[in-house]
Chain A
């Protein structure tokens, strides 16, 4: 079964070509530094391409009072104070430069009347802050980075699935995987590896995520000994499409509400006025998603179990200019003209706040030479990610990860060693599904895992449900040992799915274990048996790591803010927002 394996040697290998991976590649690339990017699909197709609403940065083009402090404040508040303050600080300070840099590389954001980058309001952002291009900002971002990166010496290996990180002692030594087209293996020897593999929304039945979001990177990092944090924090976006069945879960951008859309229940009531009178439809995602869930539970849902979203009052011309893709999406896929009628929406699994624990300055993980940035990393978003904060996260930390990886690689005397036996064993492991007879169908396993996660670890959670869910995941894990596929190694989706399912089972287990441990409700994590936020839980993050074949869980303290940052939260008012006349700073 052993075959001569194609071997490459690089300084920095980046897994992933979404916004984070491409930005990392650009900053890792320098004359004389050998950089490779590996990605599961074609260049420019990564999940980032789907991002709609915009990228958040305190440019202050429309609201001069905005500053990094206000962006920091909004981010930490939405994270419910369990994110890493330093990550959020760096993020808020650097995001404007990263957006302007994109403009310098050819990105064409929508403009303000005086010719600057336009910024749109978005949920729980104090000021108008999202740089955007209509409702296809992710496309703009990925194309700009893609065309910038191909002008450099970076080598791209497209439609290549990485399956394992190789180690030399306690540091990273390379990546193994196979070309999807031919099924042939390749080994990338590397001094440093950057994980930019995105999230794992595919664990849920109703999701806005593309097929790639199976969490391979986080699962590989876990196998290699890295720590995963905040795994219980899974974001459900309040507005996904509901009907017809084939489109269920496809995202309806928050931009619809940002541009003035309102949510109504079956009785025609604008229910968000009840749940959050101040921010209304533009409250944070966890609040709006739960509000819709509760309205449906209370029997005030739409025909297919959601809420109505209505933007008709803005007029057709405005909608066509600001939300062209949304218009097209509903017209072609659902026969609904959103300029004329209200339409149904319901929560959809959207983003994973948890992931590989990464250092704020360098994105270094707990494994030497291994870096993580973008959605696969954890630290910035805590219990709830703000809309628009992911795209700027990719840019800020993609750049930092690429730089740190290059510096680490340059500091090593020699290429780390590779263990031939490990390479051999990995090939056997990956090929095993071809020789299992009467085994498990990977598509069935995936569908069952999605059902378990949606039922037991979805928007609403409780102890009994989580325990039952864990038992079911354990059972699926056992069955996955006998996962099988037929056909040849050439572009065989059934075989590819065998590997995806195993990654997702690991992460599913991590989500449930962490969700069981967090006996409170915070941000996206809603425990019906522990409905309140507690002070005790507010000072810890839950961390899972691998001990032999076992997943272990521990707590880590949430890093404490220095006094000058803590002071920002003491007035109860976002920095830059004037105090209501006559009342001192005590107002809460």
Chain B
């Protein structure tokens, strides 16, 4: 690997901006966030970036690295090849400054989902096999990378119609919780807009927690809705899967 690498980082705010280049000395095992920190410490102290844990656990450092949505703290420089590394903020959310975007829409959506409502007070008797499906969804670190790539939100900006993959797994998690009693099927179809998803699986590909968003959450939720309601995409899925 080379001794120095060039990072081309977006600098700007909601009014616009451009990428600026910085040369960063490389050390073994360095990740993109290390390089961004180097820039902050030595070249541009006011470079805005979100991060917390630097261990891929908090989901703060989402960005587009060479066009691909990734966590900066989990992306090693040596997997990115020799060329200039482009670092840009997530495209689906308004830029605040540099790499920081306004993700507040997600927090507003979260508030609308009917919460967990158990049949009786805890403690519960639940078996591992019965909690595993929801546990998978609860691994979500809310990095919003899936929201960022979902074309319904990214290209069509249908945030007012579709809650996006992050919140589809939230709904699925509650629906599949062994003790929950609320029926969110109507909510899933009308308010959450599950019909807008056409199962491209882009969300599942970028998830740093390897959650099977489409396969394990969205498709089953579509099926649950379809058991009660009509959904053309699901009909197609069924046709493809041959059942």
Chain A residues with CB under 8 Å of chain B are: 41-47, 49-50, 100-101, 103-106, 108, 110-111, 114-117, 133-134, 136, 138-140, 143, 147-148, 150-151, 156, 158, 181, 210-212, 243-247, 250-251, 325, 328-329, 332-335, 441-443, 447, 485-488, 490-495, 497
Q: Which residue of A lies closest to B112 (CB)?
A: A150
Q: Are A244 and B28 in contact (CB under 8 A)?
A: yes
B27 within 8 A of A: yes
Q: Are A117 and B123 in contact (CB under 8 A)?
A: yes
Q: Are B46 and A244 in contact (CB under 8 A)?
A: no
B97 within 8 A of A: yes
Q: Are B128 and A110 in contact (CB under 8 A)?
A: yes
Q: Which residue of B lies closest to A105 (CB)?
A: B116
Q: Are A493 and B46 in contact (CB under 8 A)?
A: yes
Q: Are B138 and A140 in contact (CB under 8 A)?
A: yes
User: Which of A133, A150, A487 contacts B45 (CB under 8 A)?
Assistant: A487
The A-contacting residues of B in range 107-154, CB under 8 angstroms, are: 107, 110-111, 115-116, 118, 121-128, 131, 134-135, 138-142
A443 CB to nearest B CB, Å: 4
B34 within 8 A of A: yes
Question: What sequence of 0s and 1s flags, for each residue 66-96 of chain B, a beta carbon within 8 Å of any chain A beta carbon?
Answer: 0000000010100000000000000000001
Q: Are B58 and A210 in contact (CB under 8 A)?
A: yes
A105–B45 alpha-carbon span in the complex (Å): 42
Q: Please, could you name 7 A-B residue pairs with CB atoms under 8 Å apart, sorted by A?
A: A45-B60, A103-B123, A108-B135, A133-B138, A143-B138, A181-B100, A493-B49
User: Which of B47, B97, B103 contacts A42 (CB under 8 A)?
Assistant: B103
A216–B53 alpha-carbon span in the complex (Å): 18
Q: Which residue of B lies closest to A147 (CB)?
A: B115
B163: which A residues are within 8 A, CB to CB?
Answer: none
B31 within 8 A of A: yes
B50 within 8 A of A: yes
Q: Are B45 and A485 in contact (CB under 8 A)?
A: yes
B219 CB to nearest A CB, Å: 21
Q: Total contacts A to B, CB within 8 angstroms?
A: 168
A116: which B residues are within 8 A, CB to CB?
Answer: 123, 125
A251: which B residues are within 8 A, CB to CB?
Answer: 55
Q: Are B127 and A115 in contact (CB under 8 A)?
A: yes
Q: Are B177 and A106 in contact (CB under 8 A)?
A: yes
User: Which of A45, A106, A250 contacts B116 (CB under 8 A)?
Assistant: A106
Q: Which residue of A lies closest to B40 (CB)?
A: A493
Q: Are B29 and A333 in contact (CB under 8 A)?
A: yes
Q: Are B49 and A332 in contact (CB under 8 A)?
A: no
User: Which of A43, A101, A106 contacts B107 (CB under 8 A)?
Assistant: A43
User: Which of B53, B138, B142 contacts A50 (CB under 8 A)?
Assistant: B53
A143–B135 alpha-carbon span in the complex (Å): 12
A117–B127 alpha-carbon span in the complex (Å): 9
User: Which of A134, A243, A333 contacts B76 (CB under 8 A)?
Assistant: A333
A143: which B residues are within 8 A, CB to CB?
Answer: 138, 140
9 closest residue pairs by CB, A with B: A244-B29, A487-B46, A494-B45, A104-B122, A106-B116, A115-B125, A491-B48, A103-B122, A210-B52
Q: Which residue of A lies closest to B115 (CB)?
A: A151
The A-contacting residues of B in range 172-214, CB under 8 angstroms, are: 174, 177, 180
Q: Are B139 and A139 in contact (CB under 8 A)?
A: yes
Q: Which residue of B lies closest to A247 (CB)?
A: B29
Q: Are B46 and A41 in contact (CB under 8 A)?
A: no
Q: Which residue of A lies closest to B97 (CB)?
A: A491
B142: which A residues are within 8 A, CB to CB?
Answer: 44
B161: which A residues are within 8 A, CB to CB?
Answer: none
4 new A-B contacts at CB < 8 Å, known A104-B124, A491-B100: A104-B118, A104-B122, A210-B52, A497-B45
Q: Are B56 and A329 in contact (CB under 8 A)?
A: yes
Q: Are B34 and A181 in contact (CB under 8 A)?
A: no
B122: which A residues are within 8 A, CB to CB?
Answer: 100-101, 103-104
Q: Which of B51, B103, B180 has the most CB of A within 10 A?
A: B51
Given contacts A50-B57, A147-B115, contact A41 B121 (CB under 8 A): no
Q: Are B57 and A139 in contact (CB under 8 A)?
A: yes
B21 within 8 A of A: no
B59 within 8 A of A: yes
A545 CB to nearest B CB, Å: 31
Given contacts A148-B115, A329-B55, A329-B56, contact A133 B135 (CB under 8 A): yes
B141: which A residues are within 8 A, CB to CB?
Answer: 49, 139
B159: which A residues are within 8 A, CB to CB?
Answer: none
B134: which A residues are within 8 A, CB to CB?
Answer: 108
A528–B127 alpha-carbon span in the complex (Å): 51
Q: Are A245 and B115 in contact (CB under 8 A)?
A: no
A304–B126 alpha-carbon span in the complex (Å): 45
A181: which B residues are within 8 A, CB to CB?
Answer: 96-97, 100
B41 within 8 A of A: yes
Q: Are B46 and A494 in contact (CB under 8 A)?
A: yes
Q: Are B125 and A246 in contact (CB under 8 A)?
A: no
Q: Are A49 and B53 in contact (CB under 8 A)?
A: yes
Q: Are B177 and A41 in contact (CB under 8 A)?
A: no
Q: Are A443 and B40 in contact (CB under 8 A)?
A: yes
B13 within 8 A of A: yes
A485: which B residues are within 8 A, CB to CB?
Answer: 45-46
A100–B126 alpha-carbon span in the complex (Å): 13
A517–B125 alpha-carbon span in the complex (Å): 51
A46–B124 alpha-carbon span in the complex (Å): 28
A103–B122 alpha-carbon span in the complex (Å): 6
User: Which of A110, A325, A443, A492 contacts B57 (CB under 8 A)?
Assistant: A325
B232 CB to nearest A CB, Å: 32
Q: Are B115 and A49 in contact (CB under 8 A)?
A: no
Q: Are B46 and A495 in contact (CB under 8 A)?
A: yes
Q: Are B177 and A108 in contact (CB under 8 A)?
A: yes
Q: Which residue of A lies closest to B98 (CB)?
A: A491
A147–B41 alpha-carbon span in the complex (Å): 36
Q: Are A111 and B126 in contact (CB under 8 A)?
A: yes
B59: which A residues are within 8 A, CB to CB?
Answer: 44-45
Q: Which residue of A lies closest to B71 (CB)?
A: A332
A495–B139 alpha-carbon span in the complex (Å): 34
User: Which of A105, A150, A335 contacts B111 (CB under 8 A)?
Assistant: A150
B30 within 8 A of A: yes
Q: Are B96 and A332 in contact (CB under 8 A)?
A: no
Given contacts A103-B122, A246-B34, contact A108 B131 (CB under 8 A): yes
